[in-house]
Amino acid sequence: MSTIIEVAKLAGVSTATVSNVIRSTRVVSSRRTERVRAAIKQLNYSPNEIARSLKVRQTRILAMVLPDITNPFFPELIRGAEDAAFARGYFLVTANTDEQVGRERRIIEAFRSYRVGGILLATAQGRKGPDADHISALIQGGMPVVCLDRTVPNVKTDAVLLDNTGGARECVRHLIKQGYSSIAMVSGPAHLQTAHERFEGYRLALEDAGIPVQQSLIIRGDFRFESGYQAVIKLLKLKKRPDAIFVANGVMAQGALKAIDTLELRCPEDLALATFDHLASEYSHQPELTSVVQPSYDMGSRAGGMLMDRIEGRLQGGYSVIRVAPTLIVRVSSVAKRNVNG
């Protein structure tokens, strides 16, 4: 790989001139500009960003750290952040922690070492995780960090979060209004903040309506397909079967549909269903599920914007936390109970 010195030599100019042509940092005569361009082409020269970054002490790389790339919610987040980054001349790279805290640690350390401009973090850290010291250290060391979807416990940062509790509450309230009274929930993993908040919404909605929470109607899943399937099989085999189920994420809801199918029941005739996330239009075909839709693309894009603002010093002072509201989309899976067979 050729260097700026070789380009300068070939073009018969100084390295400063080559640099100035590349970065347009000061005016260079058109004759020289042309000679430099030609030399660059001839040598197939690519400026060494490593050297440049070392000199200017910053990179225009944004790093996104994600827990589970196979959950369709996250790719949309990537697309949002990516478009925002590109629009402002940044470059987004992504790494996947596979929900493992150790791996997250290692990835963050690597990004820190490479001195990325900032980090978008959807942490694998649980909501009571005691292990967040490295993240505090990171931030105190001056690295701009924006938390996405999930915050890190006991760490103050900018964040873009969803109003999980509000969304779940509205959704369950809707089920109640439709005439359902025995409403089960398939919740997410205990250690995840988002799962906890969604459960809170469920609890509050029941409380609002004066309906007691029944432990037997709450089954914990892990946000994956199989656990949604198993949970609903279990619920539907109860002597006192629920008449509606609220599912804490979209992937588990697909498992729920499969379970209903396996037991040869029908939705909504035998059981109403409502869920977080809207995979339906993209990956599934029937029935149309009532769902709490997260504006994931938008969340990614806003978090990206926030991070770049912070990097560029446009965002001074205290941390800002944005709570984005989800949208409840009512579909056939939760039609009013009295109409089910009408």
Partner DNA sequence: TTGAAAGCGCTAACAC
Partner DNA sequence: GTGTTAGCGCTTTCAA
- Minimal distance in Å, beta carbon 22 to DNA? 6
- Minimal distance in Å, beta carbon 73 to a second copy? 11
> Does residue 268 have a cis bond before it (omega within 30 degrees)?
yes
Nearest-angstrom CA–CA distance, 62 and 115 = 10
Q: Beta strand pairing status for 145-148 and 158-162? A: parallel
Q: Among candidates 238, 234, 231, 237, which has minimal Cα distance to 254? A: 231
- Minimal distance in Å, beta carbon 112 to DNA? 11
Instruction: Return the residues of window 283-302 that contact a second copy according to CB under 8 A.
Output: 283-286
State the binding partner of 156 from a second copy, DNA, none, CB within 5 to 8 A by kind. none
Size of the site for a second copy (CB under 8 A): 56
Q: In this structure, are residues 247 and 214 in contact, taking their beta carbons and an 8 Å threshold?
A: no
- Minimal distance in Å, beta carbon 116 to a second copy? 10
Q: Among candidates 6, 72, 62, 81, which has minimal Cα distance to 39? A: 6
State both tokens at 63. 């790093």
30/113 with CB nearer a second copy: 113
Q: Does 154 bind a second copy (CB under 8 A)?
A: no
Is residue 4 classed exposed, middle or buried when 0-12, 13-18 and 19+ CB atoms within 10 A define those classes?
A: buried
12/102 with CB nearer a second copy: 102
16/110 with CB nearer a second copy: 110
Of the ranges 86-94, 118-126, 156-164, 192-200, which one interacts with a second copy (CB under 8 A)? 86-94
State the binding partner of 38 from a second copy, DNA, none, CB within 5 to 8 A by kind. none
Q: Does 115 bind a second copy (CB under 8 A)?
A: yes
State both tokens at 215. 């432990």
CB-based contacts of 56, cutoff 8 Å, min separation 6: none
Q: Which residues pair with 322 in a beta bridge?
A: 160
State the binding partner of 17 from a second copy, DNA, none, CB within 5 to 8 A by kind. DNA
130/141 with CB nearer a second copy: 141
118/201 with CB nearer a second copy: 118
Q: In this structure, are residues 337 and 174 in contact, taking their beta carbons and an 8 Å threshold?
A: no
State both tokens at 206. 């029941």
Using CB under 7 A, list all residues that contact DNA. Answer: 1, 3-5, 12-17, 19-20, 22-23, 25-29, 31-32, 47-48, 51-52, 54-57
Q: Token match 């500009």: residue?
A: 33
- Minimal distance in Å, beta carbon 108 to DNA? 17
- Minimal distance in Å, beta carbon 142 to DNA? 12
Nearest-angstrom CA–CA distance, 320 and 24 = 35
Residue 323, CA atoms < 13 Å, CB-side half-sphere: 7
Q: Among candidates 176, 193, 185, 194, which has minimal Cα distance to 221? A: 185
State the binding partner of 194 from a second copy, DNA, none, CB within 5 to 8 A by kind. none
Footprint of a second copy on this chain (CB under 8 A)? 1, 44, 46-51, 53-54, 59, 61, 63, 69-70, 72, 75-76, 78-79, 82, 86, 91-96, 98, 103, 106-107, 109-110, 112-115, 137, 140-142, 225, 251, 254-255, 257-258, 261, 279, 281-286
